[in-house]
Amino acid sequence: MLVVMRAHATEEQVRAVCKKIEDLGYRAHAMPGSERTAIGITGNQGEVEAGTLEEMPGVQELIRVSKPYKLVSRDVKQENTVIRFPGTSATFGGQGLAVVAGPCAIESREQALIVAEQVCRAGAQFFRGGAYKPRTSPYSFQGLGEEGLQIMAEIRETFGMKIVTEAIDNESLALVEEYADVIQIGARNMQNFSLLKRAGRSKKPVLLKRGMSATLEEFLMAAEYVMSEGNYNVILCERGVRTFADHTRNTLDLSVVPAVQRLSHLPIVVDPSHGTGKRNKVTPLSRAAIAVGADGLMVEVHHQPDRALSDGMQSLYPEQFDELMTQVRQIAGVLGRTVPAIGARVAAAPGTATRSEIASPAAH
């Protein structure tokens, strides 16, 4: 059920309707739009007894939502959701594209800083790096944990990039929301509903990766889990699905981008690194992702891919990432979207470390 408020309804009227909904035992989700506010109602088994709501001041109409997802739907919020970050012009869902780049895993302070400097200079506004790694084998490198988070916090200070990193359970989520700017939920946890609910109670935006065999509806319902708890800042991420095809590690399903945009107001980015699993496919598929209309990219970069502790095969060399950014920038231009120019971001970062400083961390 959805309560659509009149164009000029006051904030007080919106609050009153929300309170009434809560009094009826449901949950109210106010979604302000450019013209009017809609209020989603969840928490109901079956139909909402909505008699009195319809007549409250400021209410225009009540709409029954028949789709299984509500808060993610364009029915509830017609304008694109734009996720902003204080102190930066970078957004997810805005006119500018979001570029998230960095190594698969934070392996050491030195490694992280070297890669960070390079992707920052190339124009990435977000730094990614795993501190908690969901690995197929219990005997593989599982990440540096909180130490990795601290390194990334230092990178934010040094380069001004915002930090995106994965949480794999409630414990790591509590730390990730403390240190990072965006909480990533990985593909393997897309239907870890307990974790989704916990992320829904966080104040930080959530980047939700599509599961390996998730349908579009399941993907949107996973976002609905996060939103139903009150966190409306969800970024979707296509990262390839599992098929019979064996020339790539996964099959990148770019058609899901326009499909999501048709149904939902949430931003969606593409991860061509996991989506292909092969370094030489990352740049072509990045071009394609932007051309299809994605709101950004998530790319793995490593200065020494052959020595990477995870996913080296799919990590770009820094100079390949420079080239990727150049190509992507041109494609973005065709679609009326922008990507920061190479070098632009480094100049803007006041406390930028020089390469030699990074190389000798002992000097700090």
Residues of span 199-228 touching a copy of itself by CB under 8 A:
212-213, 215-218, 221, 224-225, 228
Q: Which residue reads 């095809």 in tokens?
A: 245
Contact 189, 134 (CB under 8 A): yes
Contact 212, 244 (CB under 8 A): no
Q: Does residue 76 interact with a copy of itself by CB under 8 A?
A: no
Question: Closer CB to a copy of itself, residue 137 or residue 360?
Answer: 137
Q: Does residue 95 interact with a copy of itself by CB under 8 A?
A: no
Minimum CB separation from a copy of itself for residue 287, in Å?
4
Minimum CB separation from a copy of itself for residue 164, in Å?
20
End-to-end CA distance of the chain: 57
Name the one range near a copy of itself by CB under 8 A: 7-15, 105-113, 272-280, 316-324.
272-280
Question: Closer CB to a copy of itself, residue 36 or residue 135?
Answer: 135
State which of positions 145-174 bind a copy of itself (CB under 8 A).
168-172
Q: Which residue reads 């204080």 in tokens?
A: 86
Q: Does residue 77 interact with a copy of itself by CB under 8 A?
A: no
Name the one range near a copy of itself by CB under 8 A: 80-88, 155-163, 174-182, 184-192.
184-192
Minimum CB separation from a copy of itself for residue 184, in Å?
15
Minimum CB separation from a copy of itself for residue 200, in Å?
9
Q: Does residue 276 interact with a copy of itself by CB under 8 A?
A: yes
Residues 6+ apart with CB under 8 A from 97: 290, 294, 295, 296, 297, 328, 332, 337, 338, 339
Minimum CB separation from a copy of itself for residue 245, in Å?
6
Q: Exactly one of 62, 288, 342, 346 binds a copy of itself (CB under 8 A); which one?
A: 288
Q: What is the rounded (10 degree) CA torsion for 102, 105, 108, 110?
A: -10
Minimum CB separation from a copy of itself for residue 133, in Å?
9
Sign of CA dihedral 243, 245, 251, 256: negative
Q: Residue 224: helix, strand or coil by DSSP?
A: helix
Q: Residue 3: helix, strand or coil by DSSP?
A: strand
Q: Does residue 141 interact with a copy of itself by CB under 8 A?
A: yes
Q: Does residue 312 interact with a copy of itself by CB under 8 A?
A: no
Q: Does residue 243 interact with a copy of itself by CB under 8 A?
A: yes
One symbol per residue from 36 to 55: x for binding a copy of itself (CB under 8 A), - otherwise; what is it? ------xxxx----------
| H helical segments located in 132-239 | 146-159, 170-179, 193-200, 216-228
Question: Closer CB to a copy of itself, residue 13 or residue 42?
Answer: 42
User: Strand 268-270 and strand 234-238: pairing?
Assistant: parallel
What distance in Å separates the CA atoms of residue 14 and residue 33, rounded to the nearest whole number? 13
What distance in Å separates the CA atoms of residue 67 and residue 42, rounded to the nearest whole number? 13
Q: Exactly one of 55, 262, 306, 362 binds a copy of itself (CB under 8 A); which one?
A: 262
